[in-house]
Amino acid sequence: MSENLKKEIPDIPTIFVIFGITGDLARRKLIPALLDLYGKGFLPKRFSLVGFSRRTFSEEEFKNLLREYINDKNHSYNEKLVEEFIENSSYLQGFFDSEDGYKSLQKRLEEIDIGFGQCSNKLFYLAVPPSQYETIFKGIGKSELNKPCDDNTGWTRILVEKPFGNNTDTAIKLDKMLGKIFDEEQIFRIDHYLAKEALQNIMVFRFANGMFEPIWNRNHINSVHILFHEAEGLRTRGAFYDSVGLLRDVGQNHMLAMLSHVAMEEPKFLTAYYVRPERAKVLGALKKIKSSAIENQVIRGQYEGFQGEEGVAEGSETETFFSLKAYINNSRWRGVPFYMKSGKGLGNEKMEINVHFGMRNQRELSKYDCKGGCKCNVLTFRIQPNEGISISFWVKRPGFENEVESKRLNFSYEESGFGSMIPDAYERVLFDCIIGEQTLFSSTDEVKNSWKFITPILERWTKTPLHKYKKGSDGPVSKLF
Ligand code: BG6
């Protein structure tokens, strides 16, 4: 991040309250990201972290837990810096559904403010399963923790993880409830894929390079393939996962965020005010999949052994794989299939988007001797790993004949020296929330529109078979593409 951005960091002490500090997200992403921000000087100079959770820990046990989280990751910070970071942290045991918990939290925040000698900024991070959101919103509202302690200095903001809701109705209900407690400028709905560097680059690639706009449409693009293949299984998240499933976990949010970047119209300016409505508009144009089309447009699967994972119910029918075919009902994309495919426990980890351009017709191509058959040009955005962009094209194989071969033009962040500059998406999420920048967070309309596309699938696809696949494979044998 640029040093210039440091000027945006509030010179007001800031308290980060993490609900669900003992969970997988806090361990793997939040604490390492906060430490990174601290190490780079991107946290407010005076900050405090309060972990709030159900378990009982002494202060020392909690600090040891943070040390464990930090040591799980490779980092290059010296012990002094790590200990300074940990010294700014404290733990509070409490139940999300008990008034006493929020009262104790209020008291703890007041004590910290007294230590700072002023009313500080408060950032509440909900790193808990979605089933807890409603309870915590109510708890925060009732105890008036949503209100800043001073009208002029400290702000209060809330960060909510995805999936936001369970379907269209619950998402709308949850959003209404949240809207009664916080103003929209205080709400940061997270989809950390929006904060992935390589995803943001899609907009720049499309709109800053004038050569793509004339061909970025149904006349030149045959299909778009969005892949979200994960090698890992569930880690410690069996129970959470079983209650949510893959379509809600990554389809409704991360993959639709990927789709929106490829398909959206150019925003007038790159600010939240202009970018979020464009993302929302294209999601709103997704054609609902009809019941009669479910079998042809959607496949769901489960890896063998899923039902024996810790936390997963016996006989569970939760999907760990899906592929689907979507269409966008607007003049740019009408008739172009957008394929989405995702799975846990697949052999080949990749999150990428492949844009397939139209083939020249066979008669025109027949004069070239394409090795392996003439195929279309494919533009690939690699979101991770090995972030980059490449395009396949045909070249003449040197020699006396007209043999042509497929090659790739490749831009790799790593090879360009950009690799080490890529911030972790959670660093970006936390930093942007601290400076009050909402572009990389989902708006109400984005959340609503993505659920409107996903909910009919969830309601109908249980009637279709659940295909089994082996861990480490390419997914079920039945495939859409
Ligand atoms: C999370 C999902 O939002 O994103 C996980 O809940 C998934 O199931 C993860 O593994 C992928 O994120 P990343 O940043 O590790 O690619």
Q: What is the pLDDT of residues 396-438, one digit of tens each?
A: 999 998 888 889 999 999 999 998 899 999 999 999 999 999 9
Spell out the residues 6+ positions from residue 114 whose beta carbon is closer than 8 angstroms to its own.
Answer: none
Pocket of ligand 1 (CB under 6 A): 230, 249-250, 425
Q: What is the pLDDT of residue 362?
A: 64
Mean pLDDT for the stretch of residues 15-20: 97
Q: How far is the CA of 153 from the centre of ligand 1 (A)?
A: 35
Angle between helices 272-284 and 444-460 (to 10 degrees): 20
Among residues 411, 410, 404, which one has the least CA distance to residue 392?
A: 410
Q: How far is the CA of 426 from the centre of ligand 1 (A)?
A: 11
Q: Which domains does the chain have, with CATH numbers?
A: 3-161 (3.40.50.720), 194-469 (3.30.360.10)
Q: Which neighbouring-strand residues pair with 302?
A: 468
Q: Are 327 and 297 in contact (CB under 8 A)?
A: no
Ligand 1, atom 9: closest residue by C-alpha: 250
Q: Does residue 73 register a pLDDT over 70?
A: yes
Ligand 1, atom 10: closest residue by C-alpha: 230
Q: How many Å apart are CA 244 and CA 165, to the nearest integer?
A: 10
Q: How many Å apart are CA 381 and CA 85, to the nearest integer?
A: 36
Tokens of 300: 């769901």
Q: In ligand 1, which atom is closest to the CA atom of 384? A: 16
List the catalytic residues.
254
Q: What angle do CA 305, 308, 309 make, to 5 degrees?
A: 95
**pLDDT, tens only, 287-316:** 999 999 998 999 999 999 999 999 999 999
**pLDDT, tens only, 105-137:** 999 999 999 999 999 999 999 999 999 999 999
Q: How confident is the model at residue 10 (pLDDT cuts 50, 70, 90)?
A: confident
Q: In ligand 1, which atom is closest to the CA atom of 193? A: 14
Q: Are 345 and 472 in contact (CB under 8 A)?
A: yes
- Going 23 to 24 to 28 to 29, the CA torsion angle's sign is negative
Q: How far is the CA of 328 from the centre of ligand 1 (A)?
A: 25
Q: Phi, psi (5° rounding) for residue 246?
A: -70, -35
Among residues 280, 281, 298, 299, which one has the least CA distance to residue 289?
A: 298
Mean pLDDT (the chain) is 93
DSSP 424: P
Q: Does residue 11 register a pLDDT over 90?
A: no
Q: Tell me if residue 462 falls in helix, strand or coil.
A: helix
Q: How many Å apart are CA 175 and CA 165, to the nearest integer?
A: 9
Q: In ligand 1, which atom is closest to the CA atom of 191? A: 3
Q: How far is the CA of 40 from the centre of ligand 1 (A)?
A: 24
Q: How many Å apart are CA 322 and CA 243, to the nearest integer?
A: 16
**Confidence (pTM):** 0.94
Q: Could you tell me what percent of the chain has a pLDDT over 70?
A: 97
What's the CA dihedral at 371, 377, 378, 379 to 10 degrees? 140
User: Which of these ranges, 169-178, 188-197, 235-244, has the smallest mean pLDDT?
Assistant: 235-244
Alpha-helical regions (H) of 332-387: 362-365
Mean pLDDT for the stretch of residues 220-248: 92
Q: Tell me if residue 460 falls in helix, strand or coil.
A: helix
Mean pLDDT for the stretch of residues 31-49: 95
Q: Does residue 271 register a pLDDT over 70?
A: yes
Q: How far is the CA of 429 from the centre of ligand 1 (A)?
A: 14
Mean pLDDT for the stretch of residues 60-74: 93
Ligand 1, atom 7: closest residue by C-alpha: 250
Pocket probe for ligand 1: among 254, 349, 426, 442, the residue whose CB has the most ligand atoms within 8 Å is 254
- Going 161 to 164 to 165 to 166, the CA torsion angle's sign is negative
